[in-house]
């Protein structure tokens, strides 16, 4: 279910069928991976509307390994709520920063949330493609 949602969400950016097929493996989240990982799912009216996954880079750094919102919920604030929850959970784990490997089309969303671009990382799906690498500093709440 999460893999299908991720594919529908990514397709919103108008990527070609060939591009989407190349991303399929990277966006496949098996039941075992979800059970072993740190996934949070958002439901609206008992339907899965989005999700994110947190990873651990090191003692003070968490990574946003995935974040997808169902196309019908894009623009309704769900992405902001998911990101706020991820930030809260990373802070609770004593992290001081959150790394985000963003789709180029989603970079503006993360920049508007206070992230800054610190470089790029190679795509796990498309050879030669570079993805924005962003950092969100997790300051303590006032």
pLDDT of residue 140: 58
Q: How buried is 117 (Cβ within 10 angstroms: 0-12 exposed, 13-18 middle, 19+ buried)? A: middle
Q: What is the CATH number of domain 2-137?
A: 3.40.630.30
Where do the domains of the chain lie?
A: 2-137
Answer whether 122's CB lies under 8 Å from 131's CB: yes
User: Helices (H) and strands (E) in the chain — how many of each?
Assistant: 5, 6
Residue with tokens 């969400």: 9
Secondary structure element (H or E) that encloses residue 83, with its range: helix 78-92
pTM for this model (two decimals): 0.91
Residue 29's pLDDT band, with cuts at 50, 70 and 90, is: confident
pLDDT of residue 142: 41
- Give the pLDDT mean for 19-37: 89
Residue 2's pLDDT band, with cuts at 50, 70 and 90, is: very high
pLDDT of residue 31: 84
Secondary structure element (H or E) that encloses residue 2, with its range: helix 2-11
* pLDDT tens digits for range 94-139: 999 999 999 999 999 999 999 999 999 999 899 999 999 999 999 7
Beta bridge partners of 56: 62
Round to whole Å and give the CA distance between 12 and 115.
22
pLDDT of residue 7: 96
Round to whole Å and give the CA distance between 90 and 56.
9
* pLDDT tens digits for range 65-77: 999 999 999 999 9
- Give the pLDDT mean for 15-23: 95
């Amino acid at each position: 279910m999460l893999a299908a949602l991720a594919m529908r969400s990514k397709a919103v950016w108008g990527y070609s069928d060939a591009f989407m097929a190349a991303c399929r493996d990277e966006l496949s989240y098996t039941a075992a991976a979800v059970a072993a990982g740190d996934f949070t799912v958002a439901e609206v009216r008992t339907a899965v509307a989005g999700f994110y996954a947190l990873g651990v880079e090191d003692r003070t750094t968490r990574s946003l390994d995935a974040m997808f919102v169902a196309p019908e919920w894009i623009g309704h604030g769900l992405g902001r709520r998911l990101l706020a929850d991820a930030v809260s959970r990373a802070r609770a784990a004593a992290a001081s920063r959150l790394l985000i490997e963003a789709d180029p089309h989603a970079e503006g969303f993360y920049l508007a949330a206070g992230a800054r671009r610190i470089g790029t990382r190679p795509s796990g799906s498309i050879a030669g493609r570079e993805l924005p690498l962003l950092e969100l500093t997790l300051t303590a709440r006032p």
